[in-house]
Structure 1
Amino acid sequence: MLSLIAIVSFVSTVAAHGTVSGIVADGIYYTGYNPSFQYMTPQPITPGWKIPKDLDNGFIAPAAYTNPDIICHVGAANAQGAAPVKAGGKIVLQWTPWPVSHKGPIIDYLANCNGPCEKVDKTTLKWFKIGEGGLIDAKKASNGYWVTDTLIANNNTWTITIPKTIATGNYVLRHEIIGLHAAGQANGAQNYPQCFNLAITSEGTDNPAGVLATTFYKATDPGIKFDLYSAFTSYAIPGPPLYSNAITVSQTMPPKATASATGVYAVS
């Protein structure tokens, strides 16, 4: 039988890339979920949704786009903590090393839990898109220069801004990279969704209409069935349209973390 140390070591090895290890919200660092946590007693409380079945650092394929696994990854369960952030504030997502070959878009969504996100039924969450990026330069670099190349250049980090106009509340952030390195073939795209609970305070009042994550994509969408090795000149980012007050962020190095926290936080 494997010892706990061996199991944790194994999980750390297979999770060498493809998951968000933590986030920095308004300058404060919060640990993300790691599948190794399931072997700990007690398990750490984090704002990152639990994905204990993701031991192989896997992905969600187009064949599962109507399955709840597309929402926050395979077998995802509610996080029991939340990161507080002010509307207009920035969140930096810190990925484990991302492979250069896994080029593709990066997309961000929010869903209002309309109550505690710790208890919300994920299949009822309605998402609105607050950020997206895809192909930057088709002629630069091998197979084009993509936002994933920017993420790698920025030490595997990605920055988003919470729209100032949305209402105060408890939200789930859905952050996703879609790897296109095998997307030229049917069922070849690789979706890597990651979810985090946020407690957002705001002077805004917007409650944007959203859509279910199980309706985001179709296997035949031009941004899903895409030949990365063809002579392309453009790329259509898949999914619903951007929220009208979404803010595009110039990707720069993340701020230095000023504190750490993993406790439950709720907006009153």
Structure 2
Amino acid sequence: MGIVRISPFIAALTAATTVAAHGHVSHIVIDGLFYQGYDPTSFPYQANPPTVVGWATSQTDNGFVEPNSFANADIICHKSSVNAGGHAQVAAGSSISISWDTWPESHKGPMIDYLAACDGDCESADKAALAFFKIDEVGLIDDSASNGFWGSDVLIQNNNTWLVQIPSNIKAGNYVLRHETIALHSAGSANGAQAYPQCINLEVTGGGADVPAGTLATELYTPQDPGILVNIYTTGLAYTIPGPALIAGASSSVAQSSSAITATGTATVPGGGAAAPGTTTAAGTTTTAAAATTTAAAATSTAVVSTPTTLATSTRAAATSPTTAATTTTTTAAAATTTAAAEVGAQSLYGQCGMDAGKNYAGPTACAEGTCKSWNPYYYQCVATA
């Protein structure tokens, strides 16, 4: 049977029905610790939104940045982005599991990750001065599949989760992780590509001595780049991933898997402490004078990714995905300091709550205000009732 290609017209109609399904990064997991991301669909409407590791943005519709805006500030960390109030710590050489709330299958395209070193705290860094270097990229993997098998398809197969490795050779310090997918379903027309940049503050520990040269986000792409203006509905496509080349020491990608969550992490604010007492933290809980120390043993579980056996080679480093399934790996997390959950009574708004499916949590099961919402099998949170 020949390759079945859907016309751009039909694809556009399909895309129109999935606009509401555009996603955002809901949380990240580092060594078993769950860190909440910025939720553009709810945080802008809250009087006191949580302090999280993800940058704030104004795309309340889970929207995108169009190519005509690639030269302005919206492409840095999404529309009207504002520095995250806290950061998460990760060791150089370790991997970060980045989870999206959803992603539409029709929005095929590459997965790309960058880092930018901050001159001081990333919480107060000038976003326009951040110079990003590329640490990860996966574009078109198999052109023989219907409309191609892309990095975004791997994201979807891995439960809307992307695993990215922090290069072991970069110097310890504060960095902004710029995680991005570019939807190409309408990219055959001028200004048709859709960029979805997401930014996260990190403190990288250990590592080597490299601080690679970077590129300002406003100079990463142009609307005419072959990886931006491209018709993905043609056969024999040789796709060029946009942006600069990978830095030395970076892998084009790692075997994709899902990280088990063993505890809730708290965004660290400048100066090294957790959010001040009485304010909300990354997990939406209220901090106390003393934090409980939890040792998390994090087992990284494997998600089966049925990647086609024939891989297409891009003009950049090709993504050699597993033929049948990602390799099962196990990692042990270092001891982590987390905020103690309320011991008795009902949980406050945006605090963690416990349901039957909530694992590794023994705090309040009921909410004093709102309802207990499941973000994933391991984390439930009291949220305002619509």
**How does the TM-score come out when normalised to structure 2?**
0.64
Specify the SS of the correspondent of 1:252. Answer: coil
Paired with 1:115 and 1:187, the residues of 2 have a C-alpha distance of 36
Residues 78, 117 of structure 1: 8 Å contact kept: yes
- Residue of structure 1 in register with 2:134 after alignment: 129
- Residue of structure 1 in register with 2:357 after alignment: none
- Residue of structure 1 in register with 2:200 after alignment: 196
Distance 1:162 1:15, change over 3 A: farther
Residues 22, 95 of structure 1: 8 Å contact kept: yes
User: Is 2:29 aligned against 1:24?
Assistant: yes
The Cα of 1:267 is off from its aligned counterpart by 7.9
Give the partner amino acid of 1:187. Answer: N
Specify the SS of the correspondent of 1:118. Answer: helix
Taking CA–CA contacts closer than 8 Å with sequence separation of 6 or more, which of the two structures ends up with the larger relative contact order?
1
Name stretches of at least 5 consecutive residues in structure 1 with no aligned partner.
1-13
Q: What aligned pairs does 1:134-213 form with structure 2 within 5 A after superposition?
A: 134-140=139-145, 142-213=146-217
Residues 22, 93 of structure 1: 8 Å contact kept: yes
Residues 91, 204 of structure 2: 8 Å contact kept: yes
- Residue of structure 2 in register with 1:62 after alignment: 67
- Residue of structure 1 in register with 2:44 after alignment: 38
Paired with 1:249 and 1:27, the residues of 2 have a C-alpha distance of 20
Give the partner amino acid of 1:216. Answer: L
The Cα of 1:266 is off from its aligned counterpart by 5.2
Residues 199, 266 of structure 1: 8 Å contact kept: no
How many residues in Structure 1 have an aligned counterpart in Structure 2?
Answer: 254
Residues 171, 207 of structure 2: 8 Å contact kept: yes
1:84-105 per-residue CA deviation (whole Å, 9 max, x = no partner) reads 0000010011012211110000
Aligned counterpart for 2:218 among listed residues 214, 218, 221: 214
Residues 46, 263 of structure 1: 8 Å contact kept: yes
1:48-102 per-residue CA deviation (whole Å, 9 max, x = no partner) reads 0001x21111100000010100000000000011010000010011012211110
Residues 134, 147 of structure 1: 8 Å contact kept: yes
Distance 1:104 1:174, change over 3 A: same
User: Is 2:86 aligned against 1:114?
Assistant: no
Larger Rg: 2
Aligned counterpart for 1:239 among listed residues 228, 233, 243: 243
**How does the TM-score come out when normalised to structure 1?**
0.91
How large is the RMSD of aligned CA atoms in angstroms?
Answer: 1.7
